[in-house]
Amino acid sequence: MAIRSFFLFILFFSSSISPVFSLYEDQVGLMDWHQQYIGKVKQAVFSSQRAGRKRVVVSTEENVIASLDLRHGEIFWRHLLGADDVIDGIDIGLGKYVITLSSGGSILRSWNLPDGQMVWESSLQGPKHSKSFLLVPTNLKFDKDNLLVVFSNGRLHAISCIDGEVLWKKDFEAESFEVQQVILPPGSDLIHVVGFAALSQFEMYQINAKNGELLKHESASFSSGFSGQVSLVSTETVVALDSTGSILLTISFQDGKISSQQTPISNLVEDSLGPAVIIPSSVSGIFAIKTDAVTIFIRVIGKGNLEVVEKTTHEIAVSDALSISEDQQAFALIQHASSEIHLTVKLAHDWDGNLLKESVKMDRQRGLVHKVFINNYIRTDRSYGFRVLIVMEDHSLLLLQQGEIVWSREDGLASIIDVTTSELPVERDGVSVAKVEHNLFEWLKGHMLKLKGTLMLASPEDMAAIQSMRLKSSEKSKMTRDHNGFRKLLIVLTRAGKLFALHTGDGRIVWSYLLRSLHKSEACQSPIGLNLYQWQVPHHHAMDENPSVLVVSRCGPSSDTSGVLSFVDTYTGKELSSLSLDHAVVQVIPLPYTDSTEQRLHLLIDADKHAHLYPKTSGALSIFKREFSNIYWYSVEDQNGIIKGHALKCKCTGEVADEFCFDTRDLWSVVFPSESEKTIATVTRKLNEVVHTQAKVVADQDVMYKYISRNLLFVATVAPKGSGEIGSVTPEESWLVAYLIDTVTGRILHRVTHHGSQGPVHAVFSENWVVYHYFNLRAHRYEMSVIEIYDQSRADNKDVWKLVLGKHNLTSPISLFSRPEVITKSQSYFFTHSLKAIAVTSTAKGITSKQLLLGTIGDQVLALDKRFLDPRRTVNPTQLEKEEGIIPLTESLPIIPQSYVTHALRVEGLRGIITVPAKLESTTLVFAHGVDLFFTQLAPSRTYDSLTEDFSYALLLITIVALVAAIFVTWRLSERKELQEKWR
C-alpha cells in the first residue's frame, strides 16, 4: 500500500512538472459522441468496375447522396440536399461523375466520384409537371462527349456529361400526355418516349438522339384505360394494366408500329384475386404483378404470349436487372422465411436455373426486405460472384455476400420522431458489468503509459492505448446507473416504427425493437408512430421493476383514424403489451399523477372530444376522480386560428358504459381574426422542469417574484400574407404578434406586436420567460426577443419582518381564477444566424444558470448564456447591476466561437435538441438529432459541484506534503530550541 501511494506521488509529481497540462484536444470524445447516418436508401449505384476503392453511391429519403465504402459501409463523402430538394434519380456518368436529378426534375448536378466535389449544376425548366427520368447511356456519343438524357417537366433534354450544357431539348406539350417510360435501345441512335394521353390513349414518340428531331409519332387507343405504372419487358415492349387492374395489356412498338394484346389475369391464374398492381422492375422478358396476398412472376414469350413462371405468397423483393455479359441479364430475388431470408440470383431468360442461392440469417427486428440492389464481381476462380445491398423495413442497409452479412448500417436513426430517456438498472452485487483494473502490475503498466504520454515519449500505439484506457476507465459505458446520473438510455422512435435504446456513454445501440403494432395489418393500413411517453418510472421498486415507455401511434395519416398503444420495457426492449384502441388519438396529456404501481396516468383525447383515461385500472380511476375538477387542457386548431380550453364534464353518455371515458366541455376560446393573424408557433413549458428560486433579487436589494405557472402558453401569429418565405412581403404588410395565454382561464396575460416582422418563429419557454426568434424585415436581420413575466400580487412580501412573522401570502394556494397582477419585461436583440431548433438546458434542481441551445443553419449547436437575453440589460449598467451580473446592452447577441457545443462537428439535417438533467446539479445532457446524432454533457456554470477531470490532485498533494513537512520542521526546531533553553 505504501509502495502504491509512493508511486502515486511520484507519478502525480512528474505529471505536474510537464508544462502542458491541458486536456482539451483529447477530451473530445470523452463525454460526447457523434454518429453519421444517411437515411433510408432509395436508389443505389455501384461503382466497382474500376480498380481502386470499391464504392456504392446511394440516394436516400432524407435527401442525402452518399458514397459508401463497399467493404465496410463507411461514408466516403455525403451531401445533404435541402428539405425540398428531393432526389429523383442518380447514376454514374463516364465512370467518374455521380449525376443526380432532384427537385422534381429541375436540378441536375454532377459530383466528382472520388471526393464528392460538385463539378457542375444545371437547372432544367419545362412546360409542365411530369415524371422525371435520368438515363445515362454508355454508348451514346456526341462529339466525343457522352450524353445524358433527362426527361423532366414535360421536356426531353440531352445534356453534356462533361459540363452540363444542354445540347438539345424537345417539348412534349400535349395537354394530357403523361410520360411513362423513356427507352434507349442499345446500339441505336433512337430514343423512345412512351406514355398515356387522355387516360385511354397510348402514345409513342421516336426521337433522334443526335439532335432531338422527332422521327415518328404513333398512338393507339385502348377503351379500357390504364392504371398504375408500366413495366418494360424489352426495349420495344411494355406491359400495362387496364383501369380495373384485371387485364394485362402487352404493347409492342416494333419499327414504330403499335400492336397490342390483352390478357385477363384470370386466364393466367385460376382463382381471381382482385385488382393487381405492377411491381416496377426492368428485367427483360419478365415482369411481376402483386395482388393483396400473391405475387406473380410472368414471362413474356415472343409477341405478347404470357406465361406464369412463379406464384408466391411470401413477401418478396426483386432487384433491377444487371447485365453480366453481352446478352445475359441477372437479377436478384429475396424471399422471406421465418427467421431467414433466401437470396436467389437468376438469369433473365432462364427462370428455373439459379446462378446463386443463399440463405442468410436475419434479425427479426429488421422486418421485411424493402429494396434489393445487385452487383457482380469476379471471384478468384474467375467465375461471377454476386453481392446484394438490401434495404430493410427498419431502414437499415445491409450488404450480403457469400451468404453472410458483410456490414450493416442502422440508418433508421436518421429519421427520429421522438426521444425520451430511461434510467439504467441500479448496480447490484454480481450485476456489475465492467471491471476496474485489479492487479498491481496492470495498474502500474497503465500509469507508466500515462507517464510516457505526459512526457511526450509515447509512440502512436501507446497514445491509442492511453486513449482507449481513458475511455474504459471513465466507466461511462457501463450498463448500470451511476452516481452522477450521466449514464442513461435514450429511447428513440424512428419513422420506420422502430424503437432504439442508445447508451448515453458511447452511443451504442443497447437494444432495438420493431414495433409489432406498427406493422401493416388489415385493421391498420398505414400505421404511423407519433410519440413516446414515459409510462412507468419505478422509484420505490427500482430494484425489481423495470421502467417502461408508452408508444402512441395511429393507423393513418389523418387524425381521426384509430390509435394503437404499445408498452415497451426499457431494460429488455420487449413489448409488454399493446392495445388497439377503438377511438382516435388527437392529443395525449400525461397527467402529473401515478397510480400504486407507479404507472403514469395519461388522458387521451379523441376526435369526438371524449377523454379516455389510461391505464384502465380502478386505482387510477380513484386517483383521477380526486383530481377530476382540477384537470384542464387546451387545443390549438391551426387551420382555423382558434385556441380552446377544455375541462372534464362527466362520464361518457354512450350506449356502452365505459368507466374510463369522459365527456368534455369548452371553457374558453380565443379566436384570431383570420384576415390578420395566422398561428405559426405554440410553445409551453416542459412538464418536468424544476424551478429552484421563485424570486429574483435585483440590484437595489429589491425582490421580484417570478410568475411561475405550468399553464402558460406562448403563441405567435403572423399576418397571413407574411406566412410565406422571408422577403415575400413588404414590412408594411407583415407583423408578428406574441401572446402569453393562461391555459386554464384563457386569459391573455401579455400581447405584443412586432411590426415589420415575419416568421418562421422558433421559441422556447422556461421558468417565467420565453425567448423567440424571428425575422425583422425592416432591419433585414434576424431578431431574438425575450419576455419575462413577474407576479405583482406577491410583490408586497419584501418585508423581512413579514416573512419572519409569517404574515405573507407565499404559501397560500394560488388559484388561476384570481385576476393576475403581472408585469412583463421584454427586450429584443439582433442575432446573426437563422435557426433550425432552439432548446434550453435543464438541470436536476434548477439552480444552475440556464443556457439557450440554438441549432444554427450550419447544423451546429450554439450555447448562449441566458444572461445575454435579460430584459434588464441597459447600455450603462450601474455598479450594483454590474455586480449582479447584468451585461451592458448591445444591439446584437454575441456569437462566441468557443461556445459551439458541437465544436468542429456538424449534426447534418438538425431537427431537434433535447436536454435531460443529470443527477449532478451542474450538468445537463444534450442530445441533438437530425440525419446525424450528437450527444454531449454541458455544465452551463462550470462543474461547480464536482472536481473536473483536469483537477490537479498532484498540486493538492504537494501542498499538503509541503505543509506537513513544514509543520514537522518547525516542530523540530522549536523542540530543539526549547531544549537548548532548558539547558542554559
Partner 1 sequence: MKWVEVIVSFILTLSFLSFPSCGFQSDELLVDDEEFGLEGAPQHRSPEPIPTRSPPVTSPTRKRHSDLDSDSKIQFSLDHAFGDSDFSPAGTFSARLKTWSHGGQTLTKLRFSRNSFSDVEKEKFKNLLESDDFYRIRLPSNVLSPPGRDFIISSVKARCLPRESLDEHFVIHMEGVNVLAVNYGSPGSCPYPRNLKLPAKWSFSSHTVLKNSEQAPRAPVFTEEILGGENAEGEVVQPAERSFWAKYWMYLIPLGLIVMNAITQAMNMPEEQATGQVPAQGQLSAGAVQRGPSSAVRRR
- Residues between 938 and 957 that touch partner 1 (CB under 8 A): 950-952, 955
- Min separation Cβ 753 and partner 1, Å: 4
Residue closer to partner 1 by CB (options 669, 878) is 669
Q: Which stretch binds partner 1 (CB under 8 A): 16-24, 431-439, 537-545, 582-590?
A: 16-24
* CA atoms of 607 and 580, how far apart (whole Å): 16
- Min separation Cβ 962 and partner 1, Å: 5
834 part of the interface to partner 1, by CB under 8 A = no
455 part of the interface to partner 1, by CB under 8 A = no
Q: Which stretch binds partner 1 (CB under 8 A): 261-269, 397-405, 778-786, 928-936?
A: 778-786
- Min separation Cβ 514 and partner 1, Å: 44
- Binds partner 1 by CB under 8 A, chosen from 370, 887, 900, 943: 887
- Min separation Cβ 501 and partner 1, Å: 38
- Min separation Cβ 832 and partner 1, Å: 11
* CA atoms of 111 and 114, how far apart (whole Å): 9
Kindly provide the b/e burial profile for residues 465-504, where b requires at least 16 CB atoms within 10 angstroms of the residue's own CB: bbeebbeeeeebbbbbbbebbbbbbbbbbbbbbbbbbbbb
823 part of the interface to partner 1, by CB under 8 A = yes
Which DSSP string do the residues of 719-752 spell out, in sequence order?
-GGGGSSTTSS-GGG-EEEEEEEETTT--EEEEE
Comparing CA positions, the residue from 786, 781, 787 lying closest to residue 757 is 781
Q: Which stretch binds partner 1 (CB under 8 A): 168-176, 393-401, 452-460, 667-675?
A: 667-675
- Min separation Cβ 755 and partner 1, Å: 7
Residue closer to partner 1 by CB (options 26, 732) is 732
Q: What is the largest CA-CA distance in the chain?
A: 136
908 part of the interface to partner 1, by CB under 8 A = no
Residue closer to partner 1 by CB (options 257, 882) is 882
Comparing CA positions, the residue from 356, 424, 362 lying closest to residue 393 is 362
Q: Which stretch binds partner 1 (CB under 8 A): 276-284, 312-320, 418-426, 822-830?
A: 822-830
- Min separation Cβ 734 and partner 1, Å: 14
694's grid cell? 421563485
419 part of the interface to partner 1, by CB under 8 A = no
CA dihedral 896, 902, 903, 908 (to 10 degrees): -110
- Binds partner 1 by CB under 8 A, chosen from 336, 747, 911, 919: 747
Distance between terminal CA atoms of the chain?
Answer: 45
DSSP state of 878: -
11 part of the interface to partner 1, by CB under 8 A = no
Three-state SS at 268: helix
- Min separation Cβ 678 and partner 1, Å: 13
Comparing CA positions, the residue from 891, 959, 877 lying closest to residue 700 is 877
- Binds partner 1 by CB under 8 A, chosen from 16, 328, 354, 546: 16
Residue closer to partner 1 by CB (options 554, 754) is 754
- Min separation Cβ 982 and partner 1, Å: 12
Residues 6+ apart with CB under 8 A from 294: 269, 273, 311, 312, 313
59 part of the interface to partner 1, by CB under 8 A = no
Which DSSP string do the residues of 9-33 spell out, in sequence order?
HHHHHHHHHSS----HHHHTTTS-E
Looking only at residues 637 through 656 of this chain, which bind partner 1 when binding is defined by CB under 8 A?
A: 640, 642, 647, 649
Which DSSP string do the residues of 487-517 spell out, in sequence order?
-EEEEEEETTSEEEEEETTT--EEEEEE-GG
- Binds partner 1 by CB under 8 A, chosen from 510, 830, 846, 943: 830
Residue closer to partner 1 by CB (options 42, 754) is 754
- Binds partner 1 by CB under 8 A, chosen from 89, 529, 746, 917: 746
* CA atoms of 35 and 902, how far apart (whole Å): 12
- Min separation Cβ 968 and partner 1, Å: 11
Q: What is the size of the binding site for partner 1 (CB under 8 A)?
A: 83
628 part of the interface to partner 1, by CB under 8 A = no
Which DSSP string do the residues of 406-474 spell out, in sequence order?
EEEE-GGGGSEEEEEEEEPPPP-TTT--S----SHHHHHHHHHHHHHHHTT---HHHHHHHHHHHHHHT
876 part of the interface to partner 1, by CB under 8 A = yes
As to burial, measured by CB atoms within 10 angstroms (0-12 exposed, 13-18 middle, 19+ buried), residue 152 is buried
324's grid cell? 453480366
Three-state SS at 481: coil
531 part of the interface to partner 1, by CB under 8 A = no
Residues 6+ apart with CB under 8 A from 980: none
- Min separation Cβ 321 and partner 1, Å: 58
Residue closer to partner 1 by CB (options 259, 669) is 669
Residue closer to partner 1 by CB (options 426, 966) is 966
Q: Which amino acid is at 254?
A: Q
980 part of the interface to partner 1, by CB under 8 A = yes
785 part of the interface to partner 1, by CB under 8 A = yes
Q: Which stretch binds partner 1 (CB under 8 A): 1-9, 73-81, 520-528, 811-819?
A: 811-819
Residue closer to partner 1 by CB (options 654, 885) is 885
Q: Which stretch binds partner 1 (CB under 8 A): 235-243, 733-741, 919-927, 930-938?
A: 733-741
Place of cell 407565499: 810
Looking only at residues 346 through 375 of this chain, which bind partner 1 when binding is defined by CB under 8 A?
A: none
- Min separation Cβ 890 and partner 1, Å: 4
As to burial, measured by CB atoms within 10 angstroms (0-12 exposed, 13-18 middle, 19+ buried), residue 759 is buried
176 part of the interface to partner 1, by CB under 8 A = no
- Min separation Cβ 778 and partner 1, Å: 9
For the range 441-445, what are the long-range contacts, defined as Cβ-Cβ under 8 Å and sequence gap of 24 or more? 443/4, 444/7
CA atoms within 13 Å, Cβ hemisphere of 864: 23
558 part of the interface to partner 1, by CB under 8 A = no
610 part of the interface to partner 1, by CB under 8 A = no
813 part of the interface to partner 1, by CB under 8 A = yes
Quick count: other Cβ atoms within 10 Å of Cβ 609?
15
103 part of the interface to partner 1, by CB under 8 A = no
* CA atoms of 775 and 757, how far apart (whole Å): 6
Helices (H), 246-291: 265-268
Residue closer to partner 1 by CB (options 188, 669) is 669
Residues recorded for the chain: 984
- Binds partner 1 by CB under 8 A, chosen from 125, 857, 894, 944: 894
* CA atoms of 97 and 91, how far apart (whole Å): 8
* CA atoms of 834 and 506, how far apart (whole Å): 31
- Min separation Cβ 952 and partner 1, Å: 4
Q: Which stretch binds partner 1 (CB under 8 A): 291-299, 445-453, 476-484, 888-896?
A: 888-896
Task: Give CA 980 to chain center in angstroms.
Answer: 82
Binding mask 751-770 for partner 1 (x = CB under 8 A): xxxxx---------------
Q: Which stretch binds partner 1 (CB under 8 A): 74-82, 151-159, 397-405, 887-895?
A: 887-895
714 part of the interface to partner 1, by CB under 8 A = no
Residues 6+ apart with CB under 8 A from 514: 364, 365, 366, 367, 393, 394, 496, 497, 498, 499
- Binds partner 1 by CB under 8 A, chosen from 411, 767, 783, 908: 783
Quick count: other Cβ atoms within 10 Å of Cβ 416?
22
- Binds partner 1 by CB under 8 A, chosen from 302, 461, 891, 982: 891
Looking only at residues 954 through 973 of this chain, which bind partner 1 when binding is defined by CB under 8 A?
A: 955, 958-959, 962-963, 966-967, 969-970, 973
